[in-house]
Structure 1
Amino acid sequence: MPWEDIEVAIQTGELDGVCWSGATEVYTVGWADINKYYLTNNISGAWAGSYFANTEKWNAVPDHLKQLFKLAMDSSHYYRQHWYWWGGEAHYRTTGGSWN
């Protein structure tokens, strides 16, 4: 289903729920206004923080590129922490509502 059709599908009962995002996005796009419940379990995969690679293929990657990848993952983790604590996710999960 196209993203832009989800709100109407929830309102009309075509969809019972959505596994798509975190609380920040749910409030930002307005889905919090049309749903009674929000599950906080990690089932969407967003910001899961785990990356997997085939061991044989990973071993073939040059060391400098492995280091670059690891640095990128560390930066991603920092961004995720910043987004969670200061970007609103923790606020929405604990208090709901808007920032207004």
Structure 2
Amino acid sequence: MSYMVPNITPEMMASQDRYRTTLAAQRTARAAEGTKKRLKRVVGALEDQLDVAQATQLAMETQLELAKAAQASAEAAQRFSKWISISSLIVAVASLGAAVAAIVVTIQ
């Protein structure tokens, strides 16, 4: 049995090359579409991370303001406590003076 090889013409070769090129272009297009979808997911994830970072920054700024307010309040309380201590000392000295005066008056 003899096998007959068909005559391959240049047109047939060019057609085969165009077919292969078309298949390669289709594969490339599908790969590009997949890459596009993955990049969209990555962009979405990065946007989410940016939102979290901005929220964290806002929270930290708020905490800093609260800490500054707490520090100012503590300083004011410390000054008030100092004045109360001084006032108490003055009252104690005055009471001691009054007691000494009462003793002196009583002794005389």
Larger radius of gyration: 2
More contact order relative to length (CA 8 Å, sep ≥ 6): 1
TM-score scaled by structure 1? Answer: 0.30
